[in-house]
Structure 1
Amino acid sequence: MARNTDSLAAPRVSPPDLPENLALAEPQRNADLIAARLDLTGTADLAHSSLEQCVIAADVDLLDLTGATILDVAMRDVRAASMPMRNASIRRLRITGGRIGTLDLSGARIDELELRDLRIDYLNLGGAKARDIVIADSAIRTLDLPQAELTRVSFETSRSEEVDPRGLRAKDVDLRGLDAMSFTDANSLRGVTLTTFQVQQLAPVIAAGLGIRISD
């Protein structure tokens, strides 16, 4: 029996737990920052750093968070050409407002992520193991999900020009709020929830994947 969408589990996302007082800090590689505020410009190297209960504002060419450990962090009005977060460990991260060229979360381990009111040219979740993600009021030109493991993910009033779900393993992934122009492989959408209209749009791609030729 097909699963009723009423039983679709929603993301369990809570706001970052932030202290009232934050100390201004400077970025550096391998930093260990707690209760800090960072106002970043130019190029910021925080690769392999630990950030806990921090607030970040950034207008940068590069914000490197590769391999970082992120716990209870809020980013506001972010403008970044590139934000690599490959293999990062994330728990309760909220990014609100701004524009990001490339947001690379490939290989990341994610538990509670909110992306709100953002424009992202390229969002890469390839190979990520993630649960409890909300993406709302955002425009994503290209969304890459190859080999990702996603649990309890929802989109709200968002759009994307291209979505690549090849090898996606999905559980409770709600795509009804994502207006996607194209999916590279509809047959990799097993486990997601779509509207009837979205399925109708995908019918030619699904048919092609099954070797069905459509001719009127």
Structure 2
Amino acid sequence: MMWTVHTEGGPRRVNHAAVSVGDKIYSFGGYCSTEDYKDWEVIPVHVLDTTVYRWANVDYNKTIDAPFQIYGHSCVAYGHKVYLWGGRNESIAGDTVFCFDTNTYQWSTPVVSGVIPNGKDGHATCLIDNKMYTFGGFEYLTDQYTNNVHCLNLDTMEWSCIYTKGVPPVPRDFHTALAYKNRIYVFGGRGDFNRPYSSNNEVYCDKVFYLDIETETWVTVDTNGIKPEGWT
């Protein structure tokens, strides 16, 4: 296994969100200590064309529907549209759903209904069929790590809270999640020994879990081999 392509001139940042649409990879927001951030500036969008391996800054129409500069958010691609949720800046955590049309480079804020989750960052998001699932993250309204699951139907734009069965992963943020068939696999992340609250006594998880979305049941995976340490 080896890297075969090296590109120059891309965005320098951490805690951004990226997604592929066709042969392009779109990167939204994120943080970089060498850049001058203003909390209410609109979010930067960059695109990597994988046919020529060139980065470009997306010059979109900066309307009131565009999200502000954030990090720790997530996004999924559904057709030619990207749905972005969550994240924070130094002032506020967001709970608005934003939609970016990759054909027109226009932002919109769809009208949503249902049980809308509180704003958070460091959560993980997956797409299964027409639904966007979010798990975990740090919730600023309650000032705690979470391990709840929410689902947004992208056809009806209705949020719902999934009341899962089984033993869920402990509350965490900055983990990863992957959708495979009808399961959402979760690995890594950061929590606290005094969970769900933050006391700067961090703990990192090295277990693998999956959520069966048909039965809405959490399962701890019995893995073997050389297990990586817990990471964020």
Q: TM-score, normalised by structure 2?
A: 0.25
- Higher share of residues assigned helix: 1
